[in-house]
């Protein structure tokens, strides 16, 4: 399905990002795993991807730093020869009451989620257009549409991703690049911190899931793979809600 294409997934050393990398690899894409600092975790995902018989590499970079992003993109293209798919997944999701969010923390969160997606898209756009089937897939979140307590910086940044998605879709469409956003709901993964899981569950109640369960990283990855391929090549500027019916209700 994706054989011969190269994908870069930011924030892909764990949870949803890791599963997206592996799902893209199963579909045949060569992959670039990205992390900010944790080389050991990144190398572990790289080995998992290579076990699926694709080429995989690891990039460590702060996505809020445009110079670092430009270097990461150029290194990825130099190593793999091309770049076809960019998945902007890097994020931080700190819980903090409004009155306790300082300017530095605000800038850090927005810098990683929103600025990071912009930097990656800007630096990757020419490479994505070159292959004729470029894809940018931003990973949003349902709280950008529902709101959430004690997440003002995260919700603001994720809401910004929605606008960025539409702007890039309009600008890059004539160049053959589609841009969409996948918006997860509650996702529970093995190995999750119990405290963070409890915090996430506080925003949800079981009766609000039409399908009766929270999501898994694989549910989100499946949507990303679909958007990365050719079957949905006429879909752009859209937000795909993957939340078991939570937002619908």
Q: What is the pLDDT of residues 87-108, one digit of tens each?
A: 999 999 888 999 999 999 999 9
Edge to edge, the sheet with strand 6-9 lists: 56-60, 30-35, 6-9, 85-88, 135-139, 178-184, 239-242
Which residue in this structure is represented by tokens 């870069």? Answer: 8
Q: What is the pLDDT of residues 37-82, one digit of tens each?
A: 999 999 999 999 999 999 999 999 999 999 999 999 999 999 999 9
State how far Cα 73 lies from the chain centre: 16
Residue 205 scores a pLDDT above 90: no
- Do residues 116 and 63 touch, judged by C-beta distance below 8 A? yes
Q: Which residues contact 174 (CB under 8 A, 6 or more apart)?
A: none
Q: What is the pLDDT of residue 200?
A: 62
**First CA to last CA across the chain, in angstroms?**
34
| CA gap 174, 61 in Å, rounded | 30
Q: What is the mean pLDDT of the chain?
A: 94
Please report, for the chain, the start and end positions of each structural domain, with discontinuous segments joined by +. Answer: 6-242
pTM, entire model: 0.94
The whole-number average pLDDT for the span 169-178 is: 98
The CATH homologous superfamily of the domain defined by 6-242: NAD(P)-binding Rossmann-like Domain (3.40.50.720)
Q: What is the pLDDT of residues 105-153, one digit of tens each?
A: 999 999 999 999 999 999 999 999 998 999 999 999 999 999 999 999 9
């Amino acid at each position: 399905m994706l054989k011969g294409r190269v994908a870069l997934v930011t924030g892909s050393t764990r949870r949803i990002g890791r599963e997206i990398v592996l799902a893209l690899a199963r579909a045949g894409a060569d992959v670039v795993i990205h992390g900010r600092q944790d080389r050991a975790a990144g190398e572990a995902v790289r080995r998992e991807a290579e076990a699926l018989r694709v080429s995989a590499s690891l990039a460590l970079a702060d996505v809020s730093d445009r110079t670092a992003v430009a270097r990461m993109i150029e290194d990825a293209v130099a190593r793999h020869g091309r770049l076809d798919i960019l998945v902007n997944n890097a994020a931080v999701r700190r819980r903090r009451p409004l009155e306790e969010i300082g300017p530095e923390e605000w800038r850090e969160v927005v810098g990683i989620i929103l600025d990071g997606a912009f930097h990656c898209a800007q630096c990757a756009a020419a490479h994505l257009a070159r292959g004729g089937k470029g894809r940018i897939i931003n990973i949003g979140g349902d709280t950008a549409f529902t709101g959430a307590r004690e997440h003002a910086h995260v919700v603001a940044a994720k809401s910004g991703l929605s606008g960025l998605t539409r702007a890039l879709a309009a600008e890059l469409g004539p160049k053959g690049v589609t841009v969409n956003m996948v918006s997860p709901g509650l996702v529970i993964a093995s190995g999750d911190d119990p405290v963070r899981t409890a915090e996430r569950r506080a925003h949800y109640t079981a009766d609000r899931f039409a399908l009766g369960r929270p999501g898994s990283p694989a549910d989100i990855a499946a949507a990303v793979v679909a958007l990365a391929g050719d079957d949905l090549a006429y879909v752009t500027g859209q937000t795909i809600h993957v939340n078991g019916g939570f937002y619908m209700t």
